[in-house]
Amino acid sequence: MISVIEDIKAIYRNDPACKNIEFLLYPGFHAITFHRFIHFLERIGIPFIPRLLSEINRWFTGLEIHPGAKIGPGFFVDHGMGVVIGETTEIGKNCVLFHNVTLGGTGKHHGKRHPTLGDNVYIGTGATLLGPITVGDNVKIGANSFIVMRDVPSNCTVAGTPARIIKQDGVRCDMELPRTRLRPEHVEK
């Protein structure tokens, strides 16, 4: 229940167009609320039903969220059509995604196959993040950043194709994403 309240607060925090109880009409709100129930069913080991409900959720909302995806409170999707969130994706608190964002796999990994996002991550329209990468806290990934397949350090802004760091710790720069793996310290085990 606390997650749902935080998700409602996220709508008001991120969308100035939302007035009074209009949040009840947001497909992103429908998708995440239903996903939280579906994820519970998946966690307790119920077969088939979570996947079926996930497909129904996708059909009604346009957001594809695998039942196994772990999503923290305060999650907001604006204009969510075309959003894809893979099975082993982990999303921290207060994250924002826009339409056509993909948090997917490459097909080359086993086990953890999808991205891990820290807290306060903002991902712009059409961005594609693939593989078991880690995106740190307080990161902004620009619209159409394609394809992010390396870890992204905390406190930076990433944009372009291929994606590059254009700001880190408030200072403008232009550098490649690091080739080393970041430790997902912000992810609860």
Give which of 98, 31, 94 is closest to 66, Cα–Cα.
31
d(CA 71, CA 63): 14
Predicted local confidence at residue 51, as pLDDT: 98
Which tens digit of pLDDT belongs to each residue from 63-89? 999 999 999 999 999 988 999 999 999
Predicted local confidence at residue 189, as pLDDT: 40
Class of domain 2-176: mainly beta
- Percent of the chain at pLDDT exceeding 90: 85
Predicted local confidence at residue 162, as pLDDT: 86
Which tens digit of pLDDT belongs to each residue from 94-111? 999 999 999 999 999 999
Which tens digit of pLDDT belongs to each residue from 13-37? 999 999 999 999 999 999 999 999 9
Domain residue limits, the chain: 2-176
Distances (CA, A) of 78 to 52, 59, 123: 24, 17, 11
Give which of 112, 134, 147 is closest to 180, Cα–Cα.
134
Predicted local confidence at residue 188, as pLDDT: 44
